[in-house]
Structure 1
Amino acid sequence: MKYRQLTKEQFENLHKEFALFLASQKIDVTEWNQIKKEQPNVAEEEMNLFSDVVWEDVMSKTNYVEHFSETTVNLFKCDAEEIHRIAIKVNWDINLLDQKGFEWLMKNPMDNSVDIFKGSKPYHLERNQEVFDLIEKGGGISKGEIFDYFSQLVG
């Protein structure tokens, strides 16, 4: 398995897609229920395979990832060959997880208490695997507005 199995909730939200996935393998609902009961390891393999297909699709379409903590923001732009990172640290008592703290940062990005670092590197692993790892560590997929805003500020 390349990624991780989808959660029960994710499977429930994708039940139509999973049914189509099984149908593409000539498995109907009756056969699926029989497989789950009589061959749980085969059912698990099918669920893992479907999970990998879903994650691969999502990761391929992900271009930006953001990770916020109380005093730091890590913004990532995931290109085909390399990943770009903007790291922001606020050096005073402000909570960036709070709407007021975030708004302060967006209005005062060049304040003396704000450190901004920018860098790029080629992927160490396969691109989608590294993007997935960022998400598993608490990052969220974004449209990139915040990355682009800070990228323009720091050149």
Structure 2
Amino acid sequence: MKYRQLTKEQFESLHQEFALFLASQKIDVTEWNQIKKEQPKVAEDEMNVFSDVVWQNVITKTKYVDHFSETTVNLFKCDEEEIHRIAIKINWDINLLEQDGFEWLLKNPMDNSVDVFKGSKPYNSKRNIEVFDLIEKGGSISKGEVFDYFSQLVS
């Protein structure tokens, strides 16, 4: 597997797409139920292939990933050849995971207690593998509004 198998909830939300995937391999519902029962390894392999297809599609379209903790924010812009990062650290008792803390940061980005760093680098391995790794480590796919906001401030 290139990525990881989708969760049960993800499979349930992609039920229609998975059915079409199986149909493209000429596997109907009856046959699928039989495969799951009699050949669990084959069923697992089919689920893994489908998971990789879904992840590949999602990650290829991903342009921004945000990762928040209580005192830091890491914002990533994922271009084709390189990744751009804005790292923000708050140096006092504020929780960026709470709405009030995040709003404070947006209103006070140049406060003395806020350190902002910006950098870019080429990918160490394949783009999609690195973007997937950011997501697996707790990053969330975003539209890039926060990245763009801070990028303009530190330009």
Q: Which range, TM-score by smaller chain? A: over 0.9
The amino acid of 1:105's aligned partner reads: L
In 1, Cα distance between equivalents of 2:149 and 2:13: 33
Matches within 5 A, 1:1-155: 1-155=1-155
In 2, Cα distance between equivalents of 1:110 and 1:11: 43
Moved over 6 A (4+): none
Q: Post-superposition shift, 1:9?
A: 0.7
The amino acid of 2:97's aligned partner reads: L
TM-score when normalising by structure 1: 0.99
In 1, Cα distance between equivalents of 2:122 and 2:4: 24
In 2, Cα distance between equivalents of 1:114 and 1:33: 56
In 2, Cα distance between equivalents of 1:133 and 1:2: 11
Q: Deviations over 1:42-67 (max 9, x none)?
A: 00000000000000000011000000
Q: Which runs of 5 or more residues in structure 1 are unaligned?
A: none
In 1, Cα distance between equivalents of 2:111 and 2:86: 16
Aligned pairs, number: 155
Q: Post-superposition shift, 1:125?
A: 1.2
Q: Which runs of 5 or more residues in structure 2 are unaligned?
A: none
In 1, Cα distance between equivalents of 2:144 and 2:90: 20
